[in-house]
Copies of this chain bind each other. A is one copy, B any other.
C-alpha cells in the first residue's frame, strides 16, 4: 500500500482553503478521541469499525485502523501537515496503519471542500440499504431535515425539502470505493452523505460540528425510516399545501432546535 502522503487528493489539499469558521472551536486531538468514544457508545464504531478525518488549521487528523475506537488516545491519531505534506504524528506501534478510509477522506475533502468526514457503521444505515433496492434514500417533511446543509445554497434544507442520500454497493476493500464515491459526488453535487450497502455511512461537512450534527440527524432519520417502512408510511410526502419560507443562513437554522 502506498504511503498516504503520496495520495494525489491529499497532495492537492490546501490549508488556505479551509476557513476558521468553527462554531465551538477548532478540532483538537482531545475532542477527536472523545468523539470516537461517543460514536462507539452510540453503536456506530463497534468492533474497531468506523473512522474520522478532520482538518484543523494546517493539519489533517485521521483515525488509526488497528485500534478499538473507544480506547484510542491522542497519541494514536495520525497527523499530517497540509503545507509540507508530511506525516507529523503516528502511533508508536509500527503495525498500526492509518485508516483505509484515508484516501476516501482526502477525495471527499478535495472534491467538496469539507473539513470533516465521519464514517459510521450503525445498524440502521446498514439495514436501510437492504430494504431500499434503488440507488437513493429519500425522505421529506421531517424536522431533522432542517439539520442538513445544502452546499449549493449555503443554506439549510427546509422541513419540506427532500433529503437525498445516494446508496452505493459495498466492495471488498475501502480503496475500491474510491471510484463509486467520486461518481456519487459528481452525480449528486449537493450530497453531504453516501450510504454503502451492507456496510455503513459517510457524512461530510464544512466544519466538524456540522458533520457531527448531520451524522446524528441522518442516523435519527434512518432509524425513524425503518419504523415508517414497517408501518407502510411513505418516506417522501407530496406537499398538499406547500408553505412559503424565505431561505435562511445555514448557521442560523441548522442548529436551531
Contact = CB atoms under 8 A, between A and B. Distances in A.
Interface of A: 23-24, 38, 45-51, 63, 65-71, 93, 95-97, 99-101, 119, 121, 123, 126-127, 130-131, 141-144, 147, 158-160, 170-174, 196, 198-200, 209, 212-214, 216-217, 219-220, 223-224, 227-228, 231, 233, 243, 245, 251-257
B121 A143 contact: yes
B172 A243 contact: yes
A245 B144 contact: no
A217 to B, nearest CB: 4
Nearest to A69: B257
B257 A123 contact: no
A257 B204 CA distance: 17
Nearest to A231: B131
A170 to B, nearest CB: 6
A110 B30 CA distance: 41
25 contacts: A24-B68, A24-B71, A46-B219, A47-B213, A47-B214, A48-B213, A49-B147, A65-B255, A66-B251, A66-B255, A68-B209, A97-B256, A99-B256, A100-B257, A121-B144, A123-B220, A130-B228, A131-B231, A141-B198, A143-B196, A143-B198, A159-B170, A159-B171, A159-B172, A159-B173
A170 B198 contact: no
Contacts of A96: 23
Given A100-B256, A130-B231, A257-B100, A147 B48 contact: yes
Contacts of A97: 252, 256
Contact of A257 (B99, B141, B209, B233): B99
Contacts of A228: 127, 130
Contacts of A209: 68
A256 B48 CA distance: 7
Given A71-B24, A126-B224, A224-B123, A48 B257 contact: yes
B251 A47 contact: no
A119 B172 CA distance: 30
B170 A67 contact: no
